[in-house]
């Protein structure tokens, strides 16, 4: 049997053929740059990224290891056009060829703008761009913090402008403003300024850089930088690029300046203008104070206040008049009180007289009641007689008999009722008599008191004005006694401790030293 034409080929195992293909591809395509649209994008738990880069005719499996993924300045998403740089290799386990990328960039301004617009919508939906989050800038900061490159023209422009307007202390936090590592440095600078304590903490921050392309300004569109600016407790001014350039940090900052020089002008006022304003306010204050003083003087002059002596003349006159009228008024009031007391004393009557008057009233009432009862009986009899004269004898006698019986019963019932009324009236009269006897002045006199009157009948309330030989009438519990005074003893002043009573010398007069 003859061999086939292919019998001269060497036999290879699958592993040997796969290894040969791997070496050939890696040697021929050790460095390639591929442009396409991202399809499936998966980031494993290990941090490695697995994606597809495709166009309308083919698909290229792409792998990026964890170290390179961490350095990406954007988030790879499906549908984004990118440029991947790396080396070609194979995966023998699946007979696939693949690109192992070490860098990945958005492909051109169109893709970057699409990514920027998508990120802008996301942050706006979270409310980071709302005006209610904006903080007011301090009118005159004492320290200004600047985040920018220490070697660029931005820091020099800011320092020069602040020196011209209002020299204050400026603290620079160096940070790259372009490249893959710029965004983390800018974020750390903003958060570092906010973490400062004490007198070195800035009152306002300026984050800025000069103009450039969208790729150059891309660090200020990074989400980490935008969130750091939003969370800054220190008011922040963004000054990125020229006036026509716009980045996401401009939307979240508390104020936006068209240029770094403009940021310095926003941060501090002009000292010379402040001097002019202070001088103008000082002059206005002086003029206002002069006008106020002049008007107050005019009002004071127009008032024409009199001398203090004239203000007191009327008050003194009223005081003198009142002083003259006071004794007379007091004497008049005393006389009126005395007259009322005497009139009340004259109206007082003894309990016996009250009892006699009440008894007489009761007797009169009883007599009137009996007379009224007799008159009623008489009227009944007359009525019965008239009725009897008008009726026939037999019914009249019966009616008359019944009427007489009713009259007798009425008389029988009236007598006990009259007796009960008399008893109640007598009991009430006795109670009033007892109360009157208890409250009358005669009961007080029986306890040892006396009423002293002058010959004219006036009550004597004190020893003042009573001389020797004055005739008086003393009313005691059982009658009146006429006496004549032999002298008066003035009242003794009260002492804190009661003194021992001294013996009073006996006198022929039974009234003692009082009369």
| Whole-number CA gyration radius for the chain | 65
pLDDT, one tens digit per residue, over 383-400 is 666 665 665 555 556 767
Per-residue model confidence (pLDDT) at position 493: 53
Q: What is the C-alpha separation between 83 and 215, in angstroms, rounded?
A: 14
Per-residue model confidence (pLDDT) at position 70: 84
Q: Which residues pair with 476 in a beta bridge?
A: 479
Per-residue model confidence (pLDDT) at position 506: 47
- Asked, colleague to colleague, whether 14-106 and 131-268 share their fold, the answer is no
Domain 131-268, architecture per CATH: 3-Layer(aba) Sandwich (3.40)
Closest by CA position to 221, among listed 240, 245, 244, 249 = 249
Count CB atoms within 10 A of the CB of residue 464: 9
Share of the chain above pLDDT 90, in %: 28
Average pLDDT over residues 54-79: 84
Q: Are 72 and 104 in contact (CB under 8 A)?
A: yes
Q: What is the C-alpha separation between 211 and 255, in angstroms, rounded?
A: 18
Per-residue model confidence (pLDDT) at position 490: 56
User: pTM of the prediction?
Assistant: 0.43
How much helix, strand and coil, in percent to the nearest 5, is found in the chain?
50, 15, 30
- For the chain, what is the mean pLDDT? 81
Q: Higher pLDDT residue, 363 or 272? A: 272
Q: Higher pLDDT residue, 2 or 48? A: 48
pLDDT, one tens digit per residue, over 313-358 is 777 788 888 888 888 888 888 888 888 888 877 766 666 676 677 7
pLDDT, one tens digit per residue, over 398-451 is 767 777 787 777 778 777 877 788 888 888 888 887 777 777 777 777 777 888
Instruction: Give the pLDDT band (50/70/90) at residue 49.
Output: very high
Instruction: Give the pLDDT band (50/70/90) at residue 33.
Output: very high
- Please state the domain extents for the chain: 14-106, 131-268, 351-439, 446-478
Q: Higher pLDDT residue, 267 or 509? A: 267
| Angle at CA of residue 119, ends 116 and 120, nearest 5° | 85
For residue 238, pLDDT over 50 is answered with yes
pLDDT, one tens digit per residue, over 286-308 is 999 999 998 888 887 766 666 77
Q: Are 204 and 169 in contact (CB under 8 A)?
A: no
The CATH number fitting domain 14-106, selected from 1.10.510.10, 1.10.287.1080, 2.40.50.140, 2.130.10.10? 2.40.50.140
For residue 510, pLDDT over 50 is answered with no
pLDDT, one tens digit per residue, over 164-181 is 999 999 999 999 998 888
**Beta-carbon-side half-sphere exposure of residue 246 (alpha carbons within 13 Å):** 7
């Amino acid at each position: 049997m003859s061999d086939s034409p292919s019998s001269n080929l060497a036999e290879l195992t699958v592993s040997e053929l796969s290894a040969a293909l791997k070496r050939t591809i890696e040697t021929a395509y050790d460095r390639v740059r591929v442009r396409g649209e991202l399809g499936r994008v998966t980031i494993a738990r290990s941090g490695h990224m697995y994606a597809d880069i495709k166009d309308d005719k083919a698909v290229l499996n792409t792998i990026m290891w964890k170290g390179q993924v961490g350095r990406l300045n954007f988030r790879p998403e499906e549908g984004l056009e990118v440029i991947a740089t790396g080396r070609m290799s194979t995966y023998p386990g699946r007979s696939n060829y693949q690109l192992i990328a070490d860098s990945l960039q958005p492909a051109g301004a169109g893709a970057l703008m699409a990514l920027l617009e998508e990120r802008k919508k996301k942050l706006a939906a979270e409310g980071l761009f709302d005006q209610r989050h904006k903080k007011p800038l301090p009118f005159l900061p004492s320290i200004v913090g600047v985040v920018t490159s220490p070697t660029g023209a931005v820091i020099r422009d800011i320092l020069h402008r602040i020196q011209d307007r209002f020299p204050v202390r400026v603290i620079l936090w160096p940070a790259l403003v372009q490249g893959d590592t710029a965004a983390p440095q800018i974020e750390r600078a903003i958060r570092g300024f906010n973490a400062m304590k004490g007198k070195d903490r800035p009152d306002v921050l300026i984050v800025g850089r000069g103009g450039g392309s969208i790729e150059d300004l891309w660090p200020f569109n990074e989400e980490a930088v935008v969130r750091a600016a939003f969370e800054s407790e220190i008011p922040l001014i963004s000054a990125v690029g020229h006036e026509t350039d716009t980045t996401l940090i401009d939307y979240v900052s508390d104020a936006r300046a068209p240029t770094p020089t403009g940021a310095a002008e926003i941060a501090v006022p002009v000292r010379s203008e402040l001097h002019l304003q202070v001088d103008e306010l000082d002059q206005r204050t002086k003029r206002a104070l002069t006008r106020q003083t002049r008007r107050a003087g005019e009002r004071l002059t127009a008032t024409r206040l009199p001398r203090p002596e004239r203000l007191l003349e009327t008050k003194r006159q009223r005081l003198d008049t009142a002083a003259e009228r006071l004794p007379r008024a007091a004497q008049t009031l005393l006389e009126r009180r005395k007259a009322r007391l005497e009139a009340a004393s004259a109206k007082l009557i003894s309990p016996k007289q009250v009892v006699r008057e009440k008894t007489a009233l009761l007797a009169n009432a009883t007599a009137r009641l009996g007379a009224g009862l007799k008159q009623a009986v008489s009227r009944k009899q007359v009525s019965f007689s008239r009725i009897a004269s008008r009726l026939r004898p037999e019914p009249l006698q019966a009616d008359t008999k019944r009427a007489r019986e009713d009259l007798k019963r009425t008389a029988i019932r009236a007598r006990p009722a009259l007796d009960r009324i008399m008893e109640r009236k007598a009991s009430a009269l006795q109670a009033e008599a007892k109360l009157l006897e208890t409250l009358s002045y005669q009961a007080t006199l029986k306890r040892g008191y006396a009423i002293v009157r002058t010959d004219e009948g006036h009550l004597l309330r004190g020893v003042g004005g009573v001389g020797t030989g004055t005739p008086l009438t003393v009313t005691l519990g059982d009658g009146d006694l006429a006496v004549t005074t032999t002298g008066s003893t003035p009242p003794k002043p009260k002492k804190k401790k009661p003194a021992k009573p001294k013996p009073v010398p006996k006198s022929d007069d039974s009234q003692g030293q009082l009369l």
